[in-house]
Amino acid sequence: MKENNRISFGSKFGVYVATVGSAVGLGNIWRFPYLTGNNGGAAFILIYLICVLLIGIPIFMSELIIGRRGQGNSFRVFKNLAPEKPWYFIGILGFFSVFIILSFYGTIAGWTIEYIYLSVKSLFVQTQNSDYTAVFNDFHTSTFAPVVCQILFMIMTAIIILFGVQKGIENCSKILLPILFVILVILCVRSLMLPNSIEGLKFLFYPDFSKITTSVFLNALGQAFFSLSIGMGTIITYGSYVKKDNNLPKTSFLVSLTDMFIAILAGVAIFPALFSFGMSPSEGPGLVFIVLPEVFGQMVGGSFFSLLFFILLLVAALTSSISLLEVVVLFLIEECKMKRWAATVVSAIGATILGVFTTLSFGPLKDVNIFGKSIFDSADFLATNIFLPLSGFFIVIFLGWFYPKKNIKNEITNDGTIRFKLFPIYLFIIKFVAPIAIIFVFLRGLGIL
Ligand code: PFF
């Protein structure tokens, strides 16, 4: 469907599923649980929720506003809204983040493909007392298999993007998201039925504030950006496909709440099972690949639940990676006048090449260090904890301090046809609260303050 000669999502529900599809991903099911495990459980979740409410949702809404008002890719919108000013550097910063995140996203999503294969295999072949750590280590440190899996994942992402905004992104999200939700609920019920599952719930919901350190704040803020897909142009890009009658504040709240809810559900699916089998929650990025298979291995019907879980991860990853790739594809289509297929092929190949390095950083390239971190860890840290909050900072500065308030209000209220009573609070947040909070957390987390 076209509006102002641009493509747009077909319906309000389409906007909701596509943006939830982008937000809900590995960030909720792989990253959130292991960060929660590493950062002390409930106290981390509490800080995370505050970051989402105070900073995440206002920035999410700001990106939708910029995208819909600017009607273009995440670089062009700034040229349209602030001609002759250099704000488009926010779009450029976003491209760096997109490529970096796509590279390590493909690595982890690739692992899920291997684990789907392993789960299917174990449905048919009886394996006893597997050493799950060894299985994971053998696989993810090898050269060939993880790279093949990563390439497979990028091919799937590219195929969906080739079909375009409505047929690809919107329709796929409409099919995949309900599947994701049903699988997650089944896993939650299974996990809660295990003996001693209450310990896992306590870990998730009973905060121990002695566990809070300054890096907890930085991790929580980074996770809020990562999980809501903000700070890299994705929501700006999707915003440019949103029709003029969409209620942007409502969409922002609904999507962010759904995203938080799914992350917590993932926690409920994972931690009770972990605690029930006496495993450690602080396993790091390997949490869902080592500890969970071990849990599934001890469970009745474990292979089946394992298969469900890794399909869930793959589905979640796909609806997010398409939103990442679309940022670059739309840029190439609009700025370089490429056809969609050519733009898709070029950007997917670029992201795959970069991704090979991140994937191999667990094996052959494990000794390559950037500032004392592996390629994978530096990519994650740089994009999530530095680039995303930095872009978020400039987005709120742009809207809060440089863009006419009247235009913001018109965009939020659809030219006065809907009411948004929280407008003064929103303005206050994007002018003061969000920028100050980002700077503070940032400097503390980097050990400067
Ligand atoms: N929000 C996604 C997740 O939680 O997995 C990750 C992501 C997607 C980040 C799209 C950024 C983005 F632009």
Mean pLDDT across the stretch 4-20?
A: 86
Residue 298 is given by DSSP the state T
Write the CATH number for 8.
1.10.4160.10
Is 1's pLDDT higher than 50?
no
Single pTM value for the model: 0.92
DSSP one-letter string for 134-188:
HHHHHHHTSSHHHHHHHHHHHHHHHHHHHT-IIIIIIHHHHHHHHHHHHHHHHHH
As a whole number of angstroms, the distance between CA 407 and CA 115 comes to: 49
Mutating to test ligand 1, I would choose from 99, 176, 227, 312 the residue with most ligand atoms within 8 A of its C-beta, which is: 227
> Quick one: pLDDT at residue 215?
79
CA 236 – CA 336 distance, rounded (Å): 19
Quick one: DSSP state of residue 2? E
Which pLDDT score is estimated for 3?
Answer: 45
Could you give the CA distance from residue 42 to residue 47 in angstroms, rounded to a whole number?
9
φ, ψ (nearest 5 deg) of residue 369: -115, 140
Over residues 70-89, the pLDDT tens digits come to: 999 999 999 999 999 999 99
Percent of the chain with pLDDT over 90: 65
Best mutation site among 226, 318, 325 for ligand 1 pocket (most ligand atoms within 8 Å of CB): 226
User: Phi-psi bin for 368: left (phi > 0), alpha (psi -120 to 50), beta?
Assistant: beta
Q: pLDDT of 370-406, one tens digit each?
A: 888 899 999 988 888 889 889 999 999 999 999 999 9
Question: Which structural domain range is residue 19 located in?
Answer: 2-445
For a ligand 1 pocket test, name from 34, 234, 261, 314 the mutation site with the most ligand atoms within 8 angstroms of its C-beta: 234
Considering Cα of 375, then 376, then 379, then 382, what sign does the dihedral take? negative
CA of 49 to the centre of ligand 1 (A): 17
- Listed in sequence order, the residues at least 6 apart from 233 whose beta carbon sits closer than 8 Å to its beta carbon are 63, 73, 74, 75, 90, 91, 94, 95, 97, 98, 327, 391
Number of domains the chain contains: 1
Q: In ligand 1, which atom is closest to the CA atom of 23?
A: 1
CB atoms within 10 A of CB 371: 8
Half-sphere exposure (Cβ direction) of 73: Cα atoms closer than 13 Å: 21
Mean pLDDT of 41-56: 93
Instruction: Read off the pLDDT of residues 148-202 as tens digits, 9 standing for 90 and up.
Output: 999 999 999 999 999 988 888 888 888 888 888 898 999 899 889 989 999 999 9
User: For ligand 1, which residues put their CB under 6 angstroms from it?
Assistant: 22-23, 25-28, 101, 226-227, 229, 232, 234, 320, 323-324
- Å from CA of 194 to ligand 1 middle: 31
Report the DSSP pairing between strands 6-7 and 2-3: antiparallel
Distance between Cα 22 and ligand 1 center (Å): 6
The Cα 388–Cα 45 span in angstroms is 20
**Tokens 């939830």 sit on residue:** 20
